[in-house]
Each structure stands twice: as structure tokens, then as C-alpha cells.
Amino acid sequence: QRGEKTEFSVASNPEFLAEGGAIKDFMQPNRIVCGVENDQSETLLREMYAPFNRNHEKMLFMDVHSSELTKYSANSMLATKISLMNELANIAERVGADIEHVRQGIGSDPRIGYSFIYAGPGYGGSCFPKDVRALSHTAREHGFEAKILDAVEDVNTRQKTHLFEMLNKGFNGELDGKCIAVWGLSFKPNTDDMREAPSLVLIDALLEAGASIRAHDPEAMQEALKTYGEDKRFSVHNDQYDAAMGADALVLVTEWKLYWIPDYEQLANSMRQKVLVDGRNIWPQETALKHGFTCHAIGRPSVG
């Protein structure tokens, strides 16, 4: 009732759920972070999480502020690894190195590991961009300039333009009237989420340059039509090979499993020009070359 005094405590229990795998991450967490003010809150949280904490101790208790910073720090750390790898990929392109060889070389160091060191067109979604900006903003509110976090965001923004730059260079700046097939619209596989997706930056730049786009994605095509459905130069297709029909180039943006082993012969017979842009470094360049393709990939020498 109003005016009635009730004792309560505030606890912070940040989630660590990957989009597309949230249920598994909740049912089988690798850690459970809890920020508490007192022993009573800790006891209640231990009771609540007991069914998910049977195999081994996963619960980490700390103060509320530290638990909130843990959440932002985890995503900022992962985003930093992605941006650093993309920065290295851009250097690799300029010095004639292969970022895939570099990735294997540094990933074999157990201090670094293989997670989140894949070069690509930049991160998107609702978590990494928001959390990096939020942590940087919080730092500024407390009189501190988080230069690395700001650089992570700047590098990621620049990286999202890279696929277009590769295409534009490959066509000598003459993209007007070209037809570009795009495989993958969501910011990552197993979701229809296009928030801050690299595909948006690519499509906007292609339309600005006068190109038309034929796109495919297993989940996000209807989402894309909300943004581009009124533009006659943008179309979606239920089959990825239909999307490539008559295209001057095919760009892989999102690494859905159905894109990993393309039918190069079918692509060669249906595309107008044999140009591939691998935004995820998953297509063997030598295989594409055997089928007459020119292949561009992030952080790797172009072939063909």
C-alpha cells in the first residue's frame, strides 16, 4: 500500500546472451555475474540460480557497480579484438600479407586464442555498438577520455565502408548501372536483426553510386524491405542463386552456413561478370580461381 515502508535491496545481474543462442546461453551459462549489496541478496540469487549451477561453481559475486562494469567491459573487449583484427587486415592488404595466415599465427598463441580474431566488414547488432559507446560516454561523464574505446568505434565505422571500397576499386569507380548480388543482410547468422549491420552501409553506398542490388538472406529479407522496399533498384530473392542471376559481382556479407560452400559452376553460368567479394574470408580463393572468378577478400591479396 502507499506510504507503507518496505525493505528492499538492489541487485545487478547482467545477461551474457548471444543473439541467436540466448536460450542455450541461459540454460548453460559459463558464468553468472551478480552484483549485490548484502548477504540476503546473495542468498536469494544463489537459490534462484541453483538449477543452472550444478556442474561446477559459476557464480561470481561482487558489488553492483563492478557487475555493471563487467557487462560493458566484456562486450567492449570483444569489440576491441574485432576492430584490432580489422585494422591488421587493412595493413595486410597494403603490405601483401594474408590475414588468414596471420590469424592462425597469432591465434595459436594461448595468450591470444582464436575467438573474435576474424577479419570482416565490422561488427553490428544491438550489443557491441551500444556498449562500447555507453562505456565511453560513462568515462567522459566522469572526466576521463577512453581513447581506445573511441578508436574501436571509429575503426568499426570505417570498416563498414570497406566492402564498397573494394567493389568500387575493382570496377574502377564505375558502379553506375552495375548489378550487385548481396548474400547476407543480418549483422550475424541465426538472426533477422539488421541493426547497425554492415550490409546497410554497403547497400546505401551502392545505391548512391547508381548500382542495383539483388539480395538474399535466410531470415532478414523482410526486415530489409522495411528500409529498401520502396526503391526499385533493390530486390530480394528466395534463393541465393536467383539473387546472383545476371550480377556483375557477388558480395558475401554474412557468413550463414548455406553460403560456405557455393556452387561455383552455377554462379559462373548465371553471373554476368565473375567477380566475388568475400567479406568473411570463408571461400577458398584457389577454388574460385579455377572457375574463372576474380576474388577479393578482406586482408588478403586479390586473385584472378
The residues annotated as belonging to the active site are 127
Q: Concatenate the DSSP letters of all residues of 147-211 into one string.
A: HHHHHHHHHHHHHTTHHHHHHHHHTTT--TT-EEEEE--SSSTT----TT-HHHHHHHHHHHTT-
Q: Which amino acid is at 162?
A: H
- DSSP reduced 3-state for 20: coil
| CA separation for the pair 288, 262 (Å, rounded) | 10
Q: Which amino acid is at 87?
A: E
Q: Which amino acid is at 71?
A: K
Nearest of 52, 48, 32 to residue 40 by alpha carbon: 48
Q: Which residue in this structure is represented by grid cell 550489443?
A: 127
**Which are the contacts of 24, defined by CB distance < 8 A and separation ≥ 6?**
none
Q: Concatenate the DSSP letters of all residues of 57-123 into one string.
A: --EEEE-HHHHHHHHHHHHHHHHHHHHHHHHHHHHHHHHT--HHHHHHHHHTSTTT-STT----S--
Alpha carbon distances (Å) from 163 to 27, 45, 199, 223: 37, 46, 9, 21
- DSSP reduced 3-state for 180: strand
- DSSP reduced 3-state for 275: strand
CB contact at 8 A, 231 and 207: yes
**214 sits in which H/E element:** strand 212-216
The grid coordinates of residue 281 equal 574470408
